[in-house]
Amino acid sequence: MKPLTAVSPLGITQLQGDYLYINVHAYPTKPRYICAFETHAHTIDLQYIISGGEYIDHLRVTELTPAGCYDPSRDVQFYEKPESTTTIWLHAGYWAIFFPEDGHRPMISDGVHDRVYKAVVKIDTRLVSMGTYLPAIDNLTEC
């Protein structure tokens, strides 16, 4: 594995097939009202900021209301905007981890950086001993 730097190529690097991979991507940050809460029923996100920065809002999935249907092909459920959240500030060198029960809203402008360049390590929950109950699965809207 090569070190992640501000010139690392964008895209997915598979480490253990679909069970463990890194997605390096970049995007402009946006106003909070445009960004959406999401969860992933079958993957854990370890989000590492290579350069730039963003706010990420966090809220337990049990406190969120699904918006639309769960998309199993992308393993993502989006949610309505909640009244209040906890906000995390991530910038170069910082990371956060989100489990299936952790609703998170990335891409929020931190007022300092207009872009973020980050690596998201996607870890299939089958690689981690988490027990048999995953609360995030209970709050999905199947269509």
Structural domains of the chain sorted by starting position, each given as residue range(s) with its CATH number in brackets? 11-138 (2.60.120.370)
For 10-55, write each residue's pLDDT tens digit.
999 898 888 899 999 999 999 999 999 999 999 999 999 999 999 9
- Computed on alpha carbons and rounded to an integer, the radius of gyration of the chain in Å comes to 15
The closest of 142, 69, 58, 141 to 101, measured between CA atoms, is 58
**Sign of the Cα pseudo-torsion (16, 131, 63, 93, in order):** negative
The closest of 9, 7, 101, 94 to 55, measured between CA atoms, is 94
* Cα separation, 100 vs 124, whole angstroms: 10
Read off the pTM: 0.86
